[in-house]
C-alpha cells in the first residue's frame, strides 16, 4: 500500500504542465526559485532559455531543478526541439523574466529562437512577467508593444516599483516569484468562477456632438472597464463590452459593441439587460448633451455663445429599476469632493448592489492612469478600501468582490 503525505494532497498545481521561458535579464536568477516553487506545488516544468539568458543563469541549474533538459536551440547536432508539440504539451507558457528585446519580438511576430517559436505555436494561455529598466519600460515603443501583446490575449503581469539593475528606483522590476505563483494559482483556480454567467460592462467616455467637429466629452480612457472585461473573461464569463470612443486595445474573447453617445450606450445596455447576470457600469457617461446638434460647423461670429443642454438617459438608474432577482448591478462613482457621501447617495438612488468609488484627489488614480485606488460600498454599510494598484489588479479586486456577493 502506497501512502501519500498530507502535503501531497494540497499541491495546488498538481498535474499542471508549464513551459517556463527565461530571457536575457538580470532577473533571470529568480527563475531558479520560481522553478522550485512550481515543482513544490506539483507542476511539471520544462525550461526554454534564450542564448542571452545563459549569461545570467546556468542551464545546468535549471535542468537540475526542473528534472528536464533545458532547451535552447531549435536544432542541436542531430536533434530537433519540436516547438509545436511543446506548445501543445503545456497548460501554460510562462515567460519570466521577459526582456524588452523579447517583448518587442513577440509583438511583431519575429521567430529567431526556440522560445519565440514555442510562443508563436503555443495552443495554451501565455503569461508574461516583464523585467527592464524604467526608461525602457516607459518608452513609447515599449508601451505600444505591451498594448499589442495584451491585444493578442496574453496575460502581461504588472511590474513592481523598486531598485533596478541600473541602481535607480522606479518601475520595471519583475514580479517576485511568489507573486507570479499567485497569478498562476488565480488563473487555474478562478478561471471557472463565472462560467455560464453573462456579464455586461460599460467602459470609456461618451461624446455628445455640438456640431460635426465639436463634442462634449471627458478624459476617460476606458482602461478600467477593459481590464474588468478581460478579468471577467479569464474567470469564464461571457462578456459584452459596450465601449465608448477610445484607442485602447481590447483583448480577444470579448464581444465589443462600440458606441459614441450616451443615448447609444443606453440603448445597447437596456436592450441586453434582461439576459445579463452581472452588469458593471464603469463608463464615464456624459450627464448632459446639447439640445440641438448643428448640422454645419458653428462659426466664431459672436462674442458670447450659449449652448442649451439636456440630461442624458441615466443608464445605472434605468437598469436599477429593471433589475430582477438574481441580477447583480455595479455602479461607479468618480468624485472630487464629499466622496463617500456622494457615492452612498448614488448607490441608494440608482438601486445598485455595490458602488465603486474612486477620487480624483488620489494621486495616480482616475482618468488616463494605469493605476487606480478604489473603495467599494454595499447597501448594508460594508466598506472595502483598497490601496493604489495597477488597474488589472484593481479589476481582480472588483471581480473578487462581485463573486463574494453572487456566490453567497
Residues identified as active-site: 218
Question: Residue 52: is the preceding peptide bond cis (ω within 30°)?
Answer: no
Contact 365, 372 (CB under 8 A): yes
For the residues of 27-66, what is the DSSP string, one character each?
GGGHHHHHHHHHHHTT-EEEEEE-TGGGGTS-HHHHHHHH
Contact 58, 29 (CB under 8 A): no
Residue for grid cell 468624485: 335
Q: Which residues pair with 380 in a beta bridge?
A: none
245 vs 260: CA distance, rounded Å: 6
List the 44-49 sheet strands across, edge first. 44-49, 17-22, 92-98, 126-130, 155-156
- 339 CB contacts (<8 Å, ≥6 apart)? 333, 357, 359, 361, 375
For the residues of 84-129, what is the DSSP string, one character each?
HHHHHH-SEEEEEEE-HHHHHHHHHT---SHHHHHHHH--S-EEEE
The helix (H) or strand (E) run that includes residue 335 is strand 328-335
The helix (H) or strand (E) run that includes residue 80 is strand 79-80
- 178 CB contacts (<8 Å, ≥6 apart)? 37
360 vs 372: CA distance, rounded Å: 10
Q: What is the dihedral of CA 91, 7, 2, 62, to 10 degrees?
A: 50
The phi and psi torsions of 124 (rounded to 5 degrees) equal: -105, 170
Q: Please state whether 381 falls in left (phi above 0), alpha (psi between -120 and 50) or beta.
A: left
Amino acid at each position: 500500500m502506497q501512502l501519500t503525505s498530507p502535503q501531497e494532497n494540497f499541491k495546488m498545481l498538481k498535474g499542471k504542465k508549464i513551459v517556463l521561458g527565461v530571457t536575457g535579464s538580470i532577473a533571470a536568477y529568480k527563475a531558479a526559485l520560481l522553478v522550485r516553487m512550481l515543482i513544490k506545488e506539483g507542476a511539471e516544468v520544462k525550461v526554454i532559455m534564450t542564448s542571452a539568458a545563459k549569461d545570467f543563469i546556468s542551464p545546468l541549474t535549471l535542468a537540475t531543478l526542473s528534472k528536464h533538459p533545458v532547451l535552447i536551440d531549435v536544432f542541436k547536432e542531430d536533434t530537433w526541439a519540436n516547438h509545436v508539440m511543446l506548445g501543445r504539451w503545456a497548460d501554460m507558457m510562462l515567460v519570466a523574466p521577459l526582456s524588452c528585446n523579447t517583448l518587442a519580438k513577440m509583438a511583431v511576430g519575429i521567430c529567431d529562437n526556440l522560445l519565440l517559436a514555442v510562443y508563436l505555436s503555443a495552443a495554451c494561455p501565455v503569461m508574461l512577467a516583464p523585467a527592464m529598466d524604467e526608461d525602457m519600460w516607459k518608452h513609447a515603443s515599449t508601451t505600444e508593444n505591451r498594448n499589442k501583446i495584451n491585444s493578442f490575449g496574453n496575460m502581461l503581469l504588472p511590474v513592481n516599483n523598486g531598485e533596478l539593475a541600473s541602481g535607480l528606483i522606479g518601475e520595471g522590476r519583475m514580479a517576485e516569484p511568489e507573486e507570479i505563483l499567485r497569478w498562476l494559482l488565480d488563473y487555474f483556480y478562478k478561471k471557472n468562477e463565472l462560467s455560464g454567467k453573462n456579464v455586461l460592462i460599460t467602459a470609456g467616455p461618451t461624446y455628445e456632438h455640438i456640431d460635426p467637429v465639436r463634442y462634449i466629452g471627458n478624459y476617460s480612457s476606458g482602461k478600467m472597464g477593459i481590464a474588468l472585461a478581460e478579468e471577467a473573461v479569464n474567470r469564464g464569463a461571457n462578456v459584452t463590452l459596450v465601449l465608448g470612443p477610445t484607442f485602447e486595445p481590447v483583448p480577444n474573447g470579448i464581444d465589443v459593441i462600440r458606441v459614441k453617445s450616451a443615448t447609444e450606450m443606453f440603448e445597447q445596455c437596456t436592450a441586453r439587460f434582461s439576459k445579463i447576470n452581472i452588469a458593471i457600469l464603469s463608463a464615464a457617461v456624459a450627464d448632459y448633451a446639447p439640445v440641438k446638434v448643428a448640422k454645419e460647423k458653428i462659426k466664431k461670429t459672436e462674442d458670447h455663445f450659449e449652448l442649451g443642454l439636456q440630461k442624458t438617459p441615466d443608464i445605472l438608474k434605468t437598469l436599477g429599476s429593471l433589475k430582477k432577482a438574481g441580477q447583480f448591478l455595479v455602479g461607479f462613482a468618480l468624485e472630487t469632493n464629499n466622496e463617500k457621501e456622494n457615492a452612498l447617495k448614488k448607490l441608494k438612488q440608482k438601486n445598485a448592489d455595490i458602488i465603486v468609488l474612486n477620487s480624483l484627489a488620489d494621486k495616480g488614480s482616475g482618468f488616463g492612469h494605469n493605476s487606480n485606488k478604489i473603495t467599494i460600498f454595499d447597501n448594508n454599510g460594508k466598506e472595502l478600501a483598497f490601496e493604489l494598484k495597477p488597474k488589472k489588479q484593481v479589476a481582480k479586486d472588483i471581480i473578487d468582490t462581485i463573486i463574494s456577493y453572487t456566490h453567497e
